[in-house]
Structure 1
Amino acid sequence: MAASPAAIKRREDPGAFKSLSKISRNTNEASGLTQAKISEICPQFRILVVGKCGSGKSSLVNSVFGITDATVSHIEPGVAEINHEISSSGGKPQFLLHDSLGFEYCEDNTVEIVQKFLRRRSQEPLIKDRVHAIWLCISIPIANGRLIETSVEEFLKQDVQKELEQIPIIVVLTKYDRLVAAERLAMKHNGQETSFELAEKRAQQRLQKECVKPLENLAGRGILYVAASTQYDNTLNELAGTTFSEAQECVAKAIIAG
């Protein structure tokens, strides 16, 4: 797989989204928490994966966490059981994943199903049984494709509710390699230089204009996002690292809160 040096960028918002590495370091130092203590209380971080079927979430889960569980990979869309735990493997930081129904199925109640799951998990007495991070997987649109589905819009608008406000949401913009490829093709047709670096620079500009800004406008704040592709190893590593940091911070805050 190729590397994509500029493929991951986060939009830092001084309000809701500060630098997680700094937050984690400051929070843990101030509270006296150690990695060993966090691992003792919560040996595995619980991640909920949501998004439209076809958004690339299954491929990312398989690539990032070494998971080939049938619930994620092979069952027909809409059958996945949100309560089923899927364990990561392959030497990655240990996670437990839950896969939601595709957002285009049961359009009227899919978000409600997710919210009920999160509400129920948020009331668990043990921190390890709660949800520690959410992947919101959205396929980067190509050729005027639709970015925001109705259910995604509803989910983003409602994530300020009590059951969600303590859980970090990572917007995973998937199939980033297709956007880079589209830019290289457009440059070639226009007789321009077609270097990977220049194509990716243009792809990043499109990503901000066509994906990040609309999502921020919808959410009413900055968003934490990772542009990812199974074709670019470093984006997968960044996604795994971001997920680990976000989940660890969520657990640390829960421990401090008691």
Structure 2
Amino acid sequence: MTEQKVRYEISRDWPPPRRRQPQPSQITTEITRPETFRILIIGRANAGKTTLLRAVCGAEGEPDLYDRDDNKVRTQLCDIRLSSHIHTFLQRGEHNIEYALKFPSNPGFSFHDSRGFESGAVDELEVVRQFIRSKAGLGSMKKQLHAIWYCFSADNNRFMTAADKEFFNTIDTGSVPVIAIFTKFDALDSVAFSALSAQGIPFEEAQKRAPEYAKAQFDQELMPLIEKLAHPPRAVVCLRNMHNKSLPDLIQKAASELIEKTEAALDDDALKVLLVQAQYPNVELCLKAALK
């Protein structure tokens, strides 16, 4: 082929025809990014769930309640704060797990509440199982469940009941990480202090060593049981003094630890970014994430 003919072929085929852009009516799949990080929080009464959520969100008041379509729940008369209804929702367990709690001061989190499992509470366990399964099957990341916080109260003589073990042994949450949270861990410090004092350790020294001793006993006695579960949590967090408002720095540190452990347990980088963005009131955590 002569040079003249090659030039002719190039000029005839160039520029290539522009591809037709699909019209809006032709687009059948809509990609939406989630605006909130969705968490299922499980725990029996007095497990410190409400205190925990307030600490994480940096909130003082009550959360607002949203239905499954993300509409704020209203009374029949007017749109008012539903403090008494939400108090009942959290404290008595009279609720719909599909409904979400959001604090106005930090709408980056959506919390779904489960009242936990008492021995023989088959119904609630099945409700949670179906909720996790249904959220996992949703195609939209916006409505999917992103993490599970399972709360245990450390001031209870029985850390883990048979019903709790059934959850971890029979429910596979797949890619949704479960974080085991032991609240009120400072209650174990008192037990540790008594044990150290009984060993003849002076008062001030026993008081100083009690938190470390309590954690060591926890790791030695309880962690092996947790690790033997069929579907163990991906992370374990022990929180102290969350209820003590006179120690705001310790509360923020505990909340940051929980968020960091949750972030580390996530497999999806996009969800990690979403979690950090949701925690925008916590400047320290955002700076740590930016430096990674």
Residue 166 (structure 2) pairs with residue 154 (structure 1): yes
Matched, 1:79 2:94: yes
Residue 236 (1) aligns with residue 255 (2): yes
Q: Quick one: which amino acid aligns to residue 187 of structure 1?
A: L
Q: CA deviation at 1:77?
A: 2.3
Match of 1:54 among 46, 55, 72: 46
The residue that corresponds to 1:125 in the other structure is: 139
Contact 1:138 1:147 in 2 (8 A): yes
> Greater relative contact order (Cα 8 A, min sep 6): structure 1 or 2?
1
Identify the residue that residue 148 of structure 2 maps to in structure 1.
Answer: 134
Q: Measured at CA, do residues 215 and 170 of structure 1 come closer, stay the same or move farther in structure 2, by a change above 3 Å?
A: same
Find the residue that maps to 1:166 and give its secondary structure: coil
Check the 8 A contact 1:49/1:136 in 2, yes or no: yes
Does the residue aligned with 1:52 lie in a helix, a strand or coil? coil
Residues 219 and 63 (structure 1), Cα distance of their counterparts in 2 relative to 1, 3 Å cut: same
Q: Which sits farther off after the overlay, 82-91 or 196-205?
A: 82-91
Matches of 1:48 and 1:178, distance apart in 2: 25
8 Å CA contact retained: 2:37, 2:108: yes
Residues 243-254 of structure 1 aligned to structure 2 (within 5 Å): 243-244=262-263, 246=265, 249=268, 252=271
2:221 aligned with 1:210: yes
- Cα gap change, 1:249 to 1:101, in 2 (>3 Å): same
Equivalent runs, 1:143-222 vs 2, <5 Å: 145-160=157-172, 164-193=173-202, 194-195=204-205, 196-219=207-230
CA distance in 2, matches of 1:47, 1:172: 13
Separation in structure 2 between the aligned mates of residue 223 and residue 166 of structure 1, nearest angstrom: 11
Are the aligned partners of 1:77 and 1:102 in contact in 2 as well (CA < 8 Å)?
Answer: no
Unaligned runs of 5+ in 2: 1-31, 64-82, 245-249, 273-292
Partner of 1:68: 62
Cα distance in 2 for residues equivalent to 1:134 and 1:104: 18
Give the number of equivalent residue pairs: 208
Which amino acid in structure 2 is aligned with residue 219 of structure 1? A
Alpha-carbon distance in 2 for matches of 1:202, 1:177:
12
Question: C-alpha deviations, 1:198-234, integer Å up to 9, x for none?
Answer: 1111111111123322111233657411101304422
Larger radius of gyration: 2
Question: Whole-Å Cα distance in 2 between the matches of residues 129 and 45 of structure 1?
Answer: 9
Gaps of 5+ in 1: 1-39, 254-258
Distance 1:222 1:117 in 2: 18
Task: Give the secondary structure class of the aligned counterpart of 1:87.
Answer: strand
Q: CA deviation at 1:41?
A: 1.3
Paired with 1:102 and 1:49, the residues of 2 have a C-alpha distance of 9
Change (3 A) 1:111 1:217: same
Contact 1:52–1:103 (8 Å) recurs in 2: yes
Per the alignment, residue 109 of structure 2 pairs with 95
Q: Which residue does the alignment assign to 2:72?
A: none
2: distance between equivalents of 1:49 and 1:133? 9
For 2:234 and 2:123, the matched residues in 1 are separated by 25
Q: Is the 8 A contact 2:39 2:149 kept in 1?
A: yes
